Amino acid sequence: MNERLGKGERRLGFVDWYRPTLKVSHINEINFSGFKERGVNTLLLDGEGSFVEHNGWDIDPKIVKRIKSQDFDNIAIVSNKRPNTEKDFVRLNHWAEQLGENVVVFTPLDRSERKPGSKMLLKAASHFGIDTNQAVMVGDKVTADVLAANRAGMYSVWVDRLGWEDLPGDRIGRRPVEAGIRMVTRPNKEFDGFPAPPPSEPAATLRQYASQKESEFNMNRPQGLEQVPELLWSKSRIIGVGQPDVVLPQEVLDAIPPGLSESFGIKQIKEILYSVDSKYGEQFDNFMGENGRKIANASTTVRIPGAILIAGLLIADKPKLARKVHAVLASTDIIDGWAARKDFDQSKEAKERGGKFDQTVDKIAAFIIEVGLLKKDRLPLDNSITILGADLYMNKVARPRARSKGLDTSAALSGKMSTLLVEFMHNFSMTDNPSAFNKLFREVATGAKVARIQLSQQAWELKKADNNRFEEVKEEMLAAA
Three-class HEC string of the chain: CCCCCCCCCCCCCCHHHHCCCEEECCHHHCCHHHHHHCCCCEEEECCECCCECCCCCCCCHHHHHHHHCCCCCEEEEECCCCCCCHHHHHHHHHHHHHHCCCCEEECCCCHHHCCCCCHHHHHHHHHHCCCHHHEEEEECCHHHHHHHHHHHCCEEEEECCCCCCCCHHHHHHHHHHHHHHHHHHCCCCCCCCCCCCCCCCCHHHHHHCCCCECCCCCCCCCCCCCCCCHHHHHCCCEECEEECCECCCHHHHHHCCCCHHHHHCCHHHHHHHHHHHHHHHHHHHHHHHHHHHHHHHHHHHCHHHHHHHHHHHHHCCCHHHHHHHHHHHHHHHHHHHHHHHHCCCCCHHHHHHHHHHHHHHHHHHHHHHHHHHHHCCCCCHHHHHHHHHHHHHHHHHHHHHHHHCCCCCCCCHHHHHHHHHHHHHHHHCCCCCCCHHHHHHHHHHHHHHHHHHHHHHHHHHHHHHHHHHHHHHHHHHHHHC
Look at residue 447 and tell me whether its pLDDT is greater than 70. Answer: yes
pLDDT band per the 50, 70, 90 thresholds, residue 273:
very low
Q: Same domain, yes or no, for 239 and 317?
A: no
pLDDT at 322: 93
Look at residue 61 and tell me whether its pLDDT is greater than 80. Answer: yes
Q: Give CA separation, 378 vs 390, 391, 442, in Å.
A: 20, 21, 11
Q: Which residue has the higher pLDDT, 168 or 459?
A: 459
Neighbours of 341 (CB within 10 A): 15
Q: Same domain, yes or no, for 300 and 259?
A: no
Neighbours of 386 (CB within 10 A): 16
**37 assigned to some structural domain:** yes
Any idea what the Cα angle at residue 219 is, between residues 213 and 223, rounded to 5°?
A: 120
Indicate the range of 196-210, 214-228, 364-378 predicted with least confidence.
Answer: 196-210
Domain extent for 395: 281-480
**6 assigned to some structural domain:** no
**406 assigned to some structural domain:** yes
Are 329 and 310 within 8 A, CB to CB? yes
Average pLDDT (96-117) is 88
pLDDT band per the 50, 70, 90 thresholds, residue 186:
low
Average pLDDT (449-461) is 88
Collect all residues with Cβ–Cβ distance below 8 Å to 210 and sequence separation of at least 6. 126, 129, 130
Q: Same domain, yes or no, for 317 and 255?
A: no
Which CATH number fits the domain that encloses residue 134? 3.40.50.1000
Indicate the range of 108-117, 418-427, 446-455 predicted with least confidence.
Answer: 108-117
**390 assigned to some structural domain:** yes
Indicate the range of 151-165, 298-312, 386-400 predicted with least confidence.
Answer: 151-165
Which CATH number fits the domain that encloses residue 352? 1.20.120
Are 9 and 199 within 8 A, CB to CB? yes
**312 assigned to some structural domain:** yes
Indicate the range of 209-213, 312-316, 358-362, 437-441 predicted with least confidence.
Answer: 209-213
Q: Give CA separation, 210 vs 124, 129, 252, 399, in Å.
A: 10, 4, 11, 55
Residue at 209: amino acid letter: Y
Average pLDDT (444-472) is 89
Are 383 and 323 within 8 A, CB to CB? no
Look at residue 259 and tell me whether its pLDDT is greater than 60. Answer: no
pLDDT at 216: 39
The CA R_g of the chain, rounded to the nearest whole Å, is: 26
Look at residue 65 and tell me whether its pLDDT is greater than 50. Answer: yes
Indicate the range of 184-193, 323-332, 409-418, 446-455 predicted with least confidence.
Answer: 184-193
Collect all residues with Cβ–Cβ distance below 8 Å to 346 and sequence separation of at least 6. 292, 293, 340, 354
pLDDT at 194: 54
Per the prediction, the chain carries an average pLDDT of: 79
State how far the Cα of 174 lies from the Cα of 197, in Å rounded to an integer.
24
Look at residue 357 and tell me whether its pLDDT is greater than 70. Answer: yes
pLDDT at 413: 73
**472 assigned to some structural domain:** yes
Are 341 and 335 within 8 A, CB to CB? no
Q: Same domain, yes or no, for 256 and 318?
A: no
pLDDT at 183: 67
Q: How far apart are the first and last CA of the chain?
A: 42
Q: Which residue has the higher pLDDT, 389 or 222?
A: 389
The pLDDT tens digits of the residues spanning 364-404 come to: 998 999 999 999 888 889 989 998 899 889 888 988 898 88
State how far the Cα of 110 lies from the Cα of 183, in Å rounded to an integer.
33
Indicate the range of 57-61, 243-247, 396-400, 419-423 predicted with least confidence.
Answer: 243-247
Q: Give CA separation, 297 vs 224, 293, 301, 355, 393, in Å.
A: 21, 6, 6, 9, 25
pLDDT at 280: 59
Q: Same domain, yes or no, for 226 and 308?
A: no
Are 20 and 159 within 8 A, CB to CB? no
pLDDT band per the 50, 70, 90 thresholds, residue 473:
very high
Nearest C-alpha neighbor of 257 from the set 3, 7, 13: 13
pLDDT at 45: 97
State how far the Cα of 60 lies from the Cα of 8, in Å rounded to an integer.
40
Q: Same domain, yes or no, for 258 and 395?
A: no
The pLDDT tens digits of the residues spanning 3-48 come to: 333 333 334 556 677 888 888 889 999 988 888 888 899 999 998 8
State how far the Cα of 445 lies from the Cα of 417, in Å rounded to an integer.
9
**272 assigned to some structural domain:** no
Domain total for the chain? Answer: 2
Any idea what the Cα angle at residue 52 is, between residues 238 and 455, rounded to 5°?
A: 115
Average pLDDT (85-111) is 92
pLDDT band per the 50, 70, 90 thresholds, residue 147:
confident
Q: Same domain, yes or no, for 252 and 297?
A: no
**324 assigned to some structural domain:** yes
Q: Which residue has the higher pLDDT, 369 or 355?
A: 369
Look at residue 223 and tell me whether its pLDDT is greater than 80. Answer: no
Nearest C-alpha neighbor of 181 from the set 17, 4, 51: 17
Indicate the range of 36-50, 104-118, 265-279 predicted with least confidence.
Answer: 265-279
Are 48 and 79 within 8 A, CB to CB? yes
Look at residue 200 and tell me whether its pLDDT is greater than 50. Answer: no
Q: Same domain, yes or no, for 343 and 220?
A: no
Nearest C-alpha neighbor of 384 from the set 442, 459, 319, 342: 442
Q: Same domain, yes or no, for 254 and 303?
A: no
Q: Same domain, yes or no, for 53 and 20?
A: yes
Are 91 and 57 within 8 A, CB to CB? yes
Q: Same domain, yes or no, for 393 and 334?
A: yes
Average pLDDT (289-305) is 84
pLDDT band per the 50, 70, 90 thresholds, residue 75:
very high
Q: Same domain, yes or no, for 188 and 140?
A: yes
